[in-house]
């Protein structure tokens, strides 16, 4: 059966090929293949095309016209015959549409993106896009406070550059849990279609296009996670799309790089020990090949100038150098930083709800105070008997980890104590085989302090660090062994029953979320640092009757993305529709996710040692779109601590 194809087009005509519109740039008789193609009558024509679609403007394609099923030439359309005059309002709207659609690269006064977006714009969100169109090469660190809409600001910048034909290929690098959210935001609010590059897409492309397909070259706008990109194979495939060794990197192969939660890619540690992580190394491979870069983070500075300056160097190596204090004037040129407290309404009133911090007093029992005393005594003996600085350094890390887990929950403390005792039993043998240097140990400890999207990876990093630290330990004395046994006995009993802090939490939930045994419409998020504590809390609350009928849900790093989205949607839905009232979440689930629709209460089950993590937690509900007048944040303190700590503070301070 012969293939019936319309006559070949002429140069300059519009055609539809593969359900996309192109303009014909060249028409030639095909010289390949040498023999006529079967079932095709007539001369074969090789047509060169350039896309005129908004999302692939300028993309080139060559086809043999006679083989393209469904290809057609668009009929030339003449101007319509005038039949009358339009209303002045209609003409005015038409002229506005022409003016707004005629963006020029040289015009730095007319911003197009807000008018082409489905967003309710806030005036402060225009600052990044206004800065961007005035910069010959966009390098911006958008460091607005948590919840001010950094995703919206980045989307407007990307759309503005695309509209002005200054960009076409865009890559968004974000935590794995935020990939779907980024895809939906860009599609729904800006009309930009993004593809998520992950193992699922790679399998699909290999099945459809062959085993040698490169996922980074199949679409102009992509989203991926930093933890996927840092792997050996994805990073190798990305390097294949870059200029070969000795080849010029100009013009750059990619246009816009957006890095969400960019602080996760900064080197961890301090001073000479601030070494690049795998995330940092992957980002260093990427940034030279992008014309424009946007780094998004609410917590850009972790307290160490080495880490912050390295992040700035990744953004703009012409203005900043690693290890050098950044110049304030140059920093002001690339950094956009606003706090919620600084943003006011037209009448001077706060634009965002006030944050109200409330302590929950815990009357610790004598047994609970005793186990803390045992741990302090054990720590003192351990540190006193250190043979050198390396052993002291290792001991401080292990003892600090034990203290953090003890303040979290008996379950978290039990797991870490068991790991510590196991390491002590084999320390002598392993120390003889391999004794790590303080530098190697520091790098492993820095890994523990990184932000993890998967709770299991975080626990593995902690276990590895504990294992390495134990190789520097001396043998345990009889007194130390006795203290470990007492703590182990206490933990074994406490793990199977709620401690005093858990009892206070249950009382609070009973009074505020389920008063009188009936569920209210209020919701609360309970954040914890450790997965073991989350599981333990879930069991304790289930025994108290809080988990029935989908009232209690959990979010944690590493869970299935579809399940995560269902839980998020349920928590964001109206309480009259969704029954969930309590959400248990770990720190790995505290970045970038929006939970403010119907929730204004948050409880820190333990205070994270990194203040940036605490601010990320608060930002889940203290953000743009919060409807309540106040955001209530609760934390636990020992009974009487507030009164005792305030005695020395003068009145009025």
The 10s digit of each residue's pLDDT in 371-388 is 999 999 999 998 887 878
pLDDT given for residue 271 in this prediction: 56
Q: Tell me what the mean pLDDT of segment 132-143 comes to.
A: 94
Which helix H or strand E contains 21, and what residues bound it? strand 20-29
What pLDDT band is residue 429 in, cutting at 50, 70 and 90?
Answer: low
The whole-angstrom separation of Cα 315 and Cα 293 is 7
Pick from 58-72, 90-104, 557-571: least confident: 90-104
- What is the b/e burial string over 443-467, where b = at least 16 CB atoms within 10 angstroms of the residue's CB? bbbbbbebbbbbbebbbebbeebbb
Looking at residue 269, its pLDDT comes to 59
pLDDT band per the 50, 70, 90 thresholds, residue 270 = low
State whether residue 387 is helix, strand or coil.
coil
Identify the band that residue 433 occupies on the pLDDT scale cut at 50, 70 and 90.
low
Higher pLDDT, 487 or 83: 487
Cα separation of 305 and 406, whole Å?
Answer: 31
Residue 450 has pLDDT above 90, yes or no: no
Q: What is the pTM of this model?
A: 0.79
Q: What does the pLDDT average to over 616-645?
A: 83
Helix segments in 409-450, DSSP class H: 410-425, 427-433, 438-449
Name which residue leads in pLDDT, 115 or 542. 542
- Looking at per-residue confidence, does 398 or 268 come out higher? 398
pLDDT at residue 523 tops 90:
yes
Q: What's the confidence (pLDDT) of residue 405?
A: 94
**Dihedral of alpha carbons 153, 155, 160, 165, sign:** positive
Could you give the CA distance from residue 628 to residue 355 in angstroms, rounded to a whole number? 11
Q: For 307-330, write each residue's pLDDT tens digit.
A: 899 999 999 999 999 888 899 999
Residue 37 has pLDDT above 70, yes or no: no
Higher pLDDT pick, 443 / 34: 443
pLDDT at 80: 67
């Amino acid at each position: 059966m012969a293939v019936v194809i319309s006559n070949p087009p002429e140069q300059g005509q519009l055609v539809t090929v593969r359900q996309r519109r192109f303009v014909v740039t060249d028409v030639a008789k095909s010289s390949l293949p040498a023999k006529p193609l079967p079932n095709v009558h007539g001369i074969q024509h090789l047509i060169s095309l350039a896309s005129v679609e908004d999302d692939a403007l300028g993309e080139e394609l060559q086809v043999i016209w006679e083989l393209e099923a469904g290809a057609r030439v668009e009929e030339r359309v003449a101007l319509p015959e005038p039949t009358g005059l339009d209303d002045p309002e209609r003409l005015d709207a038409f002229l506005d549409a022409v003016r707004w659609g005629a963006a020029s690269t040289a015009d730095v006064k007319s911003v197009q993106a807000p008018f082409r977006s489905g967003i309710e714009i806030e005036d402060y969100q225009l600052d990044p896009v206004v800065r961007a169109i005035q910069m010959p090469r966009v390098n911006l660190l958008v460091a607005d406070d948590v919840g001010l809409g950094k995703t919206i600001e980045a989307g407007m910048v990307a759309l503005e550059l695309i509209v002005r034909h200054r960009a076409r290929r865009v890559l968004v690098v974000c935590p794995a849990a935020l990939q779907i959210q980024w895809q939906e935001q860009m599609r729904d609010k800006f009309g930009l279609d993004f593809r998520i590059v992950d193992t699922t897409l790679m399998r699909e492309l290999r099945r459809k296009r062959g085993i040698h397909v490169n996922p980074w070259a199949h679409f102009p706008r992509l989203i991926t996670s930093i933890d996927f990109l840092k792997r050996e194979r994805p990073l190798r495939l990305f390097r294949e799309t870059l200029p070969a060794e000795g080849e010029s990197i100009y013009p750059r192969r990619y246009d816009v790089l957006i890095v969400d939660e960019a602080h996760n890619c900064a080197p961890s540690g301090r001073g000479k020990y601030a070494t690049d992580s795998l995330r940092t190394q992957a980002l260093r491979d990427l940034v030279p090949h992008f014309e424009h870069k946007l780094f998004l983070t609410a917590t850009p500075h972790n307290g160490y100038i080495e880490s912050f300056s390295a992040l700035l160097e990744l953004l703009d190596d012409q203005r900043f150098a690693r290890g050098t204090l950044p110049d304030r004037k140059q920093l002001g040129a690339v950094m956009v930083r606003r706090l919620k407290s600084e943003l006011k309404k037209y009448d001077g009133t706060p634009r965002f709800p006030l944050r109200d911090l409330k302590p929950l007093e815990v009357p610790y029992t004598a047994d609970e105070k005793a186990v803390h005393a045992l741990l302090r005594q054990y720590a003192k003996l351990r540190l006193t008997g250190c043979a050198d600085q390396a052993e002291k350094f290792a001991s401080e890390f292990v003892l600090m980890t034990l203290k953090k887990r003890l303040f979290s929950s008996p379950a978290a403390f039990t797991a870490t104590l068991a790991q510590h005792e196991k390491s002590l039993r084999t320390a002598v043998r392993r120390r003889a085989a391999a004794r790590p240097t303080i530098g190697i140990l520091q790098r492993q400890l820095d890994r523990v302090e990184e932000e993890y999207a998967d709770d299991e990876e975080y626990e593995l990093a902690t276990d590895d660090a504990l294992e390495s630290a134990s190789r520097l330990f001396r043998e345990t004395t009889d007194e130390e062994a006795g203290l470990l046994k007492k703590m182990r006995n206490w933990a074994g009993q406490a793990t199977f029953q709620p401690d005093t802090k858990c009892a206070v939490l249950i009382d609070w939930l009973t009074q505020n979320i389920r008063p009188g045994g009936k569920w209210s419409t209020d919701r609360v998020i309970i954040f914890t640092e450790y997965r073991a504590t989350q599981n333990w809390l879930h069991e304790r609350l289930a025994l108290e009757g809080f988990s029935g009928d989908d009232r209690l849900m959990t979010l944690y790093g590493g869970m299935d993305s579809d399940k995560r989205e269902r839980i998020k949607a349920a928590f964001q839905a109206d309480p009259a529709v969704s029954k969930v009232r309590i959400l248990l979440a770990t720190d790995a689930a505290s970045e970038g996710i929006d939970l403010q629709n119907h929730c204004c209460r948050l409880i820190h089950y333990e205070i994270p040692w990194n203040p940036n993590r605490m601010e990320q937690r608060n930002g889940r509900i203290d953000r743009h779109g919060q409807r309540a007048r106040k955001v209530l944040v609760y934390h636990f303190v020992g009974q009487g601590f507030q009164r005792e700590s305030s005695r020395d503070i003068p009145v009025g301070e």
